[in-house]
Amino acid sequence: MLALSGLFVLFLHAQKNNNPTPAASNGVPRPKLVVGLMVDQMRWDYLYRYQNRYGKDGFNRLLNQGFSCENTFIPYTPTATACGHACVYTGSVPSINGITGNNWWDSKLNRSMYCVEDKTVKTVGSDSRDGEMSPRNLVSNTITDELRLATNFRSKVIGISIKDRGSILPAGHSANAAYWYDENKGMFISSTYYMNDLPQWVKDFNARKLPDTYYAQGWNTLYPIETYTQSTADAKEYERTEIGPKNSFPYDMKGYIGKDYWKLPFMPQAATYTFEMAKAAAINEQMGKGAETDFLAVSVSSTDYSGHSFGPNAVELEDTYLRLDRDIADFLNFLDKQVGKGNYLLFLTADHGAAHVPGFLKEHNLPGGSVTLSSLVKKVNQEMFEQYQIKDIISNSSYYNLALNHKQIDSLKLDINQIKKTLIKRFEKEEGIYRIVDKAALDQSNLPNPIRERLLNGNFPYRSGDLQVLTLPAWFKDNPKGTDHSVWNPYDAHIPLVWYGWNVPQGKTNHEYYMTDIAVTLAAMLRVQMPNGAVGKAIEEITGKK
């Protein structure tokens, strides 16, 4: 009888093992929720530039209770939005993941390609074409994909951003959803890549018409304007005027209610709007409430819009970050209540930084300037037509990459190497241009190793140009007003990286790390496979202290 009882217990144990419980409750320690928070165009020094004006519960909470990797760099060029979001989540570089810019010249298709464009899908949520997007141009997978794979797709992954690329690329290929802002309609949308209809909660969120509420509020400084001592005078001639006829406070936006929704991303309320959408997703999708770890990828875009328009030293940018600090504090308090303090893992980073405005530098006797690259390309194309009878010998000049018209060059049986030499000699005569490099000979170039490696890491076959323009430090292309980014220099490539929450020690390190290390560190912490194109390394100060 005892023997039979023992056999029965063994039988029940075998049956139990044939029906295993979910991985999160099967001995694999993981947080309930991972939150990736990317702040578009956030230079590393913004953590400290306004620190004495930040409250205790936003950036300072992350710095004081979390772990900051103070010397984190982008290991490729161009330092652009799409590339940064792809790199953070793939642990890879453009030469592997294929995202070589927000746009690039596709030599196979012989046309310019937008990073997330996909004409096989349709907009979901509006009748505009802003939703014809998907992650299909990303050729490697993401940490969010690997989390889904590790849990047999039980983990829920959602991406949210004003920018389509800021939502789609982090969410990965297998995401449950990605939502982004339709600038024509003033609402969040998606595409048929993810769904055929918006969930009811998204429809209800859009029905609140928050963009009109923000337009009614307008934009004035959070504090008396004379207290903005980290900024220049309010109105400077080298600032741009996308959101109004003048570039000074207060900004009265009431006239745009019901229209011109493309102006909202320049306002700090666009960050608030993004966080409100993220909260709605967490609540309605019950993220962090199930047996498996969920992943909420949030990207704040307003900092990039206002940064481009006004530059790093404007009152507008200081106010944008002071307001963002409040939004982050509110979001952390929400996560404490929704998921539980200590139950979520959050990292904050940026896709790139930004240069100082040339006009600002000139005011203070600092070197820098703007190369009118687009005009220069037109001028050189005309000169080359007179010499070679080829129209538009330079087909495209995205992100300092010059793509040549191979079809015509080949048809005329011209020596492409001689053409390259002629172009290099011509472009290097221009003020502000440091070097022009032949991409085909990058590995043999005499560039300093860090620059050469970054160019190699950004070079993907058929999605990169033939020649690379390198400007002098603090020089950038085309826009003498406002600022820009895309180069290897520290002002564009030195980014914040702060970890907070589940199993994160308190402290900081000055060891040099790279954007590629973020996804690999997440993989180590979550105990899942790293993304399939990853080249980074786990940050042991984070993974080694449990």
Domain range summary for the chain, segments of one domain joined by +: 29-362+490-543, 370-472
CB 516 within 8 A of CB 75: yes
Rounded to 5 degrees, φ, ψ at 436 are -120, 125
pLDDT the model gives residue 245: 78
pTM listed for this prediction: 0.94
Digit-coded pLDDT (tens) for 157-169:
999 999 999 999 9
Digit-coded pLDDT (tens) for 427-465:
999 999 999 999 999 988 899 999 999 999 999 999 999
Q: Which residue has the higher pLDDT, 300 or 25?
A: 300
Buried b (16+ CB within 10 A) or exposed e, 129-154: ebbbbbbebbbbbbbbbbbbebbeeb
Strands 494-495 and 394-396: unpaired
Of all residues in the chain, the percent with pLDDT exceeding 70 is 95
Digit-coded pLDDT (tens) for 487-538:
999 999 999 999 999 999 999 999 999 999 999 999 999 999 999 999 999 9
The tokens for 105 are 């010249």
Q: How far apart are CA 246 and CA 131, in angstroms?
A: 32
Residue 103 has pLDDT above 70, yes or no: yes
pLDDT band at 479 (very low <50, low <70, confident <90, very high): confident
Active site residue 81: yes
pLDDT band at 18 (very low <50, low <70, confident <90, very high): very low
Place of tokens 């037509």: 385
Q: Where are the beta strands (DSSP E) in 439-522?
A: 467-471, 475-477, 494-495, 497-501, 507-514
pLDDT the model gives residue 544: 78
Of 81, 123, 221, 471, catalytic = 81
What class has domain 29-362+490-543? alpha beta
Enumerate residues 6+ apart whose C-beta is below 8 A from 515. Answer: 72, 73, 74, 75, 84, 87, 88, 349, 495, 536
Residue 14 has pLDDT above 90, yes or no: no
What class has domain 370-472? alpha beta
Residue 5 has pLDDT above 90, yes or no: no
